[in-house]
A and B are shown apart, each in its own frame.
Chain A
């Protein structure tokens, strides 16, 4: 366990270049892996119009995205394994097939963000979106009721 005293010996550096090349190659490979992993796991955030337009151009692309809009009033249908509804941003609509229970405050008109993907090859005017996660959109700042500070 006891180390010898440190002796500083100047050494020739014949292998230096080789180390640098090897290190550079390793770094490049790791970077390649990281960037690849990143690009495979990007989730785009789209409004319904943007999402539906992009899906219309490439109907076979099932990339994961977050679709933002509001729940169309009267479109909600409960199903045993989840819920279906229509999400809209005022101009465009998409049908959402959600797996699992929607969150507590999910209701007609609620602003929602659904995460999932469009059904592959679905060329309908109102395409179907497979969702497994619904978030109710809300501002970052919380304001409790009943107290108005400035009046």
Chain B
């Protein structure tokens, strides 16, 4: 019954999306505003279909309806409620359903927001493209990824339950939806980019329409990536948070191109330049999200994340090819309109810095993409299995990351068009000194590693610049309207949310960069073989093995060691890393026990359970500043929230400041306004 209901929802969603595409196409072809306005109604039906399907699946999961094969594979009676609900995105079919649901949600919000312009061809085209994407994902669920396939044969009394790795941390319930909110959100700017090309209105209009959606999607993607790293750190027990695993890369590559896009759109908004580049970037970002789905969900990879295998790969690759071909074809077709009047006057200018930033981000994305798909290409072409070692990624990306950090410190202080020496000196000398002194201090205090010291210095440089801009802004507000510091700060931020929110995001990036450098450069790791009562020392931390317990249940055999951690005479408590063995699986799953601190994490893993002599192997890792990675993710979300928070009064057109974090208040460029006027529906 729930299966029929859910499948009905999927059918409704597919039909509505397909009919919506047809109606929109007819409306656009006849230039009939009423037909277009009808077409947009189908978006709500798509949402309804997705809600019914997802609701039916959740209902089946919660009520242990094992007549559905998906429920049998991903749920057991003993599964706690949280992971029962989260089982929706625990496997292939459910995650496609979540994808469709989120896409329907984004499309609904978009057409609601633009309801006054339902008959505008740009909006109509964008809706059409969004519905095509939705139709594809619903078609996947009608065919190869049907989540409501019935259980073959007799209906079992209990299910298999989710993968054990997916049900021992609450982050698993949050991380995938966040990532998907980011991934799927990129469909909106993509739709508008295609619409801009199709209508020939390739100016700045489509950027303005999609700015907030892009920023929101970007923030979700960022937070999703950080949460994924955190989950990996807390659950997988290898001590790290980022392994350049293909699945991690699959979420990171579109993030890189989306970040490049957020910066380069500012140049287009201000100067009308980089049109082709921006369209290419957002089309590439969308294609990379599809590629990411392909990598994660088709089972082509042999990685820790590869939980699913299916025939869906060919579908996704075909769709990826179509999306890329459409984008490239449209750009080539509209080549004549994309030529832009402006040019970069001086490399030492805001637009010059944005251009360098974009080249670096694009290079970064290329490096990671190449390392990720190279083994697949070699295997496909030469039938030879190989992998790309982590040193490749580390060696290639660290210099790019440092260069980006440098640009982040410098670019916000550069004026548009061209910078003069005195201006540069006035704006940058102070922060640069702070950075240089930080580096000197690190070197004197005996910090190891050039890359680490440079990262700390550049981080300090950037933070000093951010503080300077905030201080100048607040001081100006106080001069103008008086009042106390807190009130002035609030008014300053409210006066230019994009600038000050963007600066907060930059600050978050510095926090993350410093935490990355410190934890990658200065982590100490050792393994100890211990008998009960034995005490060992690492970096002035003492570890005493108190004993271990063994819990045997039908599902698993779990060893837990109790370790007392002391530092400088203080008892930091007893920590209990564990190791679970699943009789039918060769996988032993370690559960680390982490003492999180603001300065350093103490990370304990049970490497092997007691042997004949009662000796365990304990992995100890002391990693500085790790917690700031997660805090940085929170600050980043806060900064984006400040930037996208709707400003009072000036709600509509004059949200005109870009995702550019850093543009000073100024009217929208003439070209953008002219274009909007020219675009008014006839």
Q: Which residues of A are interface residues toward B (Cβ below 8 A)?
A: 1-6, 8, 11, 30, 33-34, 37-38, 40-45, 64, 66, 100-101, 103-105, 110-111, 136-138, 140-151
Contacts and interface: CB of A to CB of B under 8 A. Distances in A.
Contacts of A1: 415, 664
Contact of B389 (A2, A43, A151): A43
Nearest to A143: B584
Nearest to B374: A38
Contact of A101 (B165, B415, B607): B607
B200 interface: no
Contacts of B529: 101
B581 A143 contact: no
A18 B158 CA distance: 71
A147 B76 contact: yes
B370 A101 contact: no
Contacts of B156: 147-150
B159 interface: yes
A149 to B, nearest CB: 5
Contacts of A37: 392, 395-396
A119 to B, nearest CB: 20
SS of A interface (majority): loop
B588 interface: yes
B220 interface: no
B505 interface: no
A45 B387 contact: yes
B581 A145 contact: no
B309 A140 contact: yes
Nearest 5 pairs of A and B residues by beta carbon: A41-B392, A45-B385, A104-B588, A41-B389, A145-B584
Interface in B311-358: 341-343
B157 to A, nearest CB: 8
Given A104-B609, A147-B159, A110 B342 contact: no
Interface string B585-599: 111101000000000
Interface of B: 72-73, 76, 151-154, 156, 158-161, 163-165, 270-272, 299, 302, 306-309, 341-343, 363, 366-367, 370-371, 374, 384-392, 395-396, 415-417, 527, 529, 554-555, 579, 581-588, 590, 607-609, 617, 664, 666, 669-671
A105 B582 CA distance: 11
A22 to B, nearest CB: 12
A30 B417 CA distance: 28
B334 to A, nearest CB: 21
Contacts of A141: 307, 309
A11 B165 CA distance: 61
Given A2-B666, A34-B366, A34-B370, A142 B587 contact: yes
B374 A41 contact: no
B586 A138 contact: yes
A143 B389 contact: no
A5 B416 CA distance: 11
A66 B669 CA distance: 57
A38 B378 CA distance: 13
Contacts of A145: 554-555, 582-584
Given A136-B586, A138-B587, 9 more contacts: A3-B415, A37-B396, A41-B395, A103-B588, A104-B607, A147-B159, A149-B151, A150-B152, A150-B156
Contacts of B342: 6, 8
8 contacts: A6-B671, A38-B371, A38-B392, A44-B386, A104-B579, A136-B586, A140-B302, A149-B72
A5 B540 CA distance: 62
Contacts of A30: 363
Contacts of B388: 38, 41-43
Contacts of A111: 586
B416 A3 contact: yes
Contacts of A101: 527, 529, 607-608, 617
Contact of A151 (B76, B154, B160): B154
A149 B617 CA distance: 37
A18 B590 CA distance: 58
A76 to B, nearest CB: 13
Given A30-B363, A34-B367, A37-B392, A140 B306 contact: yes
B158 A147 contact: yes
Contacts of B308: 140
Contact of B299 (A45, A103, A140): A140
A44 B384 CA distance: 8
Contacts of B527: 100-101
A8 B76 CA distance: 67
B585 A138 contact: yes
A42 B386 CA distance: 7
Contacts of B617: 101
Contacts of B366: 34
A150 B302 CA distance: 28
Nearest to B390: A41
B306 A137 contact: no
Contacts of A66: 387
Nearest to B617: A101
B384 A144 contact: no
Nearest to A38: B392
Contacts of A2: 664, 666
Contacts of A149: 72-73, 151, 156, 159-160
A64 B670 CA distance: 58
A146 B554 contact: yes
Contacts of B153: 150-151
A140 B579 CA distance: 19
A11 B585 CA distance: 69
B74 to A, nearest CB: 11
